């Protein structure tokens, strides 16, 4: 059986000029400021035991530079470790040895460190590498021209990360499809500079959202019970092979507002309800988004990177996203546009179809401001297509990955 042996390259190999060993471990990556290089050698368990029985220092160094030891090395990898940023980049010549490499980092490197592996985007074996990485729980993915250690690479690479700890495995197919989506969207970004997402509500999300206009009653101070608006976050659950993202309701995010409004919840996807009691109070047949709802989404798209907002109503659900021009140019949206939105998105017509026609006409600086779609509950499993804003070379659909990317 083979095991991994982590050796401090800077302090043990570099100063001692271990020529025989150095010939075996090419190419040696450059060293970078604030980071140290570790070398992981894949060796037979017996050799590992022999080494551990030797005295620390010269005896051990002599042994690892011996021909016998070197002949038994079946592979190697480098670990670039930045202890200030708590990141570790793994550079392996032979990806198939990665399971032993990760075993070795789990044992020898602090567990609060995040591990990174990467592959060239044009690598013909990219699919194989992705599968290998995902199997080892490298689940979060992004594309960058900068290594997590801080140096720049010649062409963008696909990075995949995981905590250097025991982690709960997630759905392998979804993780692979998420990676495929990120790679595919880079091409879309290069074509027309915006991210395109196709989502569907999961069956559970449909069940919840369809009911949410009929629930939400709480007791008021005077003892009367009235129905309140409910808001919450949606998150991507599964991603299908056709790269459709299925949204689930994050039940831990649910909040109650008052009868007429509720705060918008931080998230890439969020929703709020229009309670049935409000229909009666305002003598309305339909409960499409209010102009205040557009202010809410507008603010959330700037503050929380919200991609889409759902208004759940009795008749179905309305999906608000940015118009395609503004999805590409979100950075020039300003809060001073609020008065304009309040006036323009206050629309009083007869039916949802007429409503969509009017609200989708609202344009700012000559470009459609919001893209609003409506689906009756009978069509609740329809595909919803939206445009949204990229982060550099990435179209993130997951808030955790986006937040981690922003602080890299
Ligand atoms: Zn509302």
Q: What is the CATH number of the domain that holds 227?
A: 3.40.140
> Residue 235: what pLDDT?
97
Based on the structure, what is the number of domains in the chain?
Answer: 2
* Pair 9, 69 in one domain: yes
Question: How many residues make up the chain in this entry?
Answer: 408
What SS3 class is residue 282?
coil
Ligand 1 center–CA 205 separation, angstroms = 19
What span, in angstroms and rounded, lies between the C-alpha atoms of 396 and 70?
44
> Residue 9: what pLDDT?
92
* Pair 202, 181 in one domain: no
What span, in angstroms and rounded, lies between the C-alpha atoms of 232 and 47?
56
> Residue 276: what pLDDT?
87
Ligand 1 center–CA 408 separation, angstroms = 36
Ligand 1 center–CA 222 separation, angstroms = 25
Give this prediction's pTM: 0.91
Task: Tell me if 340 is assigned to some domain.
Answer: yes
* Pair 129, 274 in one domain: no
* Pair 186, 199 in one domain: no
Cβ neighbourhood burial of 290 (10 Å; 0-12, 13-18, 19+):
middle
* Pair 47, 131 in one domain: yes
* Pair 208, 345 in one domain: yes
Instruction: Render each residue's pLDDT in the chain as its tens digit; 408 residues.
Output: 899 999 999 999 888 888 889 888 988 898 888 899 999 999 999 999 999 999 988 999 999 999 999 999 999 999 999 999 999 999 987 777 899 999 999 999 999 999 999 999 999 989 999 999 999 999 999 999 999 999 999 999 999 999 999 988 889 999 999 999 999 999 989 988 889 999 999 999 999 999 998 898 889 899 989 899 999 999 999 999 999 999 999 999 999 988 889 999 999 999 999 998 889 998 899 999 999 999 999 999 999 999 999 999 999 999 999 999 999 998 888 766 788 888 888 999 999 999 999 999 999 989 999 999 999 999 999 999 999 999 999 999 999 999 999 988
Ligand 1 center–CA 290 separation, angstroms = 5
Ligand 1 center–CA 225 separation, angstroms = 20
Ligand 1 center–CA 274 separation, angstroms = 6
> Residue 325: what pLDDT?
94
Ligand 1 center–CA 293 separation, angstroms = 5
Domain of 286, in residue numbers: 195-389
* Pair 365, 218 in one domain: yes
* Pair 43, 66 in one domain: yes
Ligand 1 center–CA 198 separation, angstroms = 24
**245-256 and 195-201: which strand pairing?**
parallel
Ligand 1 center–CA 307 separation, angstroms = 17
Ligand 1 center–CA 287 separation, angstroms = 8
Task: Tell me if 331 is assigned to some domain.
Answer: yes
| Distinct helix (H) and strand (E) counts, the chain | 14, 19
* Pair 150, 277 in one domain: no
The separation between CA 317 and the C-alpha centre of its own chain, rounded to angstroms, equals 25
Residues with CB under 5 A from ligand 1 (ion): 290, 293
Ligand 1 center–CA 340 separation, angstroms = 18
Ligand 1 center–CA 380 separation, angstroms = 19
């Amino acid at each position: 059986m083979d095991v991994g042996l982590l050796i401090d390259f800077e302090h043990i190999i570099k100063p001692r000029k271990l020529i025989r060993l150095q010939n075996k471990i090419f190419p040696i990556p450059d060293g970078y400021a604030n980071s140290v290089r570790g070398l992981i050698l894949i060796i037979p368990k017996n050799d590992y035991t022999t080494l551990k029985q030797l005295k620390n220092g010269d005896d051990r160094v002599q042994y690892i530079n011996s021909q016998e030891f070197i002949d038994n090395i079946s592979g190697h990898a480098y670990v670039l470790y930045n202890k200030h940023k708590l990141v570790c980049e793994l550079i392996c010549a032979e990806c198939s040895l990665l399971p032993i490499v990760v075993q070795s980092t789990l044992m020898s490197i602090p567990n609060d460190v995040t591990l990174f592996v990467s592959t060239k985007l044009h690598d013909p074996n990219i699919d194989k590498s992705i599968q290998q990485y995902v199997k080892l729980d490298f689940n979060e993915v992004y594309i960058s021209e900068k290594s997590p250690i801080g140096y720049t690479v010649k062409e963008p690479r696909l990075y995949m990360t995981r905590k250097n700890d025991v982690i709960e495995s997630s759905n392998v197919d979804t993780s692979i499809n998420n990676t495929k989506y990120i790679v595919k969207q880079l091409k879309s970004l290069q074509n027309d500079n915006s991210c395109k997402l196709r989502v569907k509500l999961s069956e559970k999300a449909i069940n919840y959202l369809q009911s949410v206009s009929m629930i939400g009653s709480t007791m008021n101070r005077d003892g009367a019970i009235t129905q309140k608006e409910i808001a919450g976050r949606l998150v991507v659950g599964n991603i299908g092979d056709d790269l459709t993202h299925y949204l689930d309701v994050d039940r831990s995010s649910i909040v109650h507002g008052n009868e007429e409004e509720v705060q918008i919840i931080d998230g890439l996807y969020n929703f709020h309800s229009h309670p049935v009691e409000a229909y009666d109070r305002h003598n309305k047949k339909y409960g499409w988004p209010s102009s205040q709802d557009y202010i809410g989404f507008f603010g959330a798209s700037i503050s929380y990177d919200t991609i889409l907002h759902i208004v759940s109503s009795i008749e179905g659900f309305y999906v608000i996203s940015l118009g395609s021009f503004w999805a590409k140019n979100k950075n020039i949206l300003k809060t001073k546009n609020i008065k304009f939105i309040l006036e323009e998105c206050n629309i009083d017509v007869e039916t949802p179809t007429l409503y969509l026609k009017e609200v989708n006409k609202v344009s700012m600086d000559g470009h459609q401001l919001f893209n609003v779609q409506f689906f009756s509950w009978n069509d609740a499993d329809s595909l919803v297509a939206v445009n949204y804003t990229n982060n550099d070379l990435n179209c993130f659909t997951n808030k955790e990955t986006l937040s981690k990317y922003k602080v890299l």
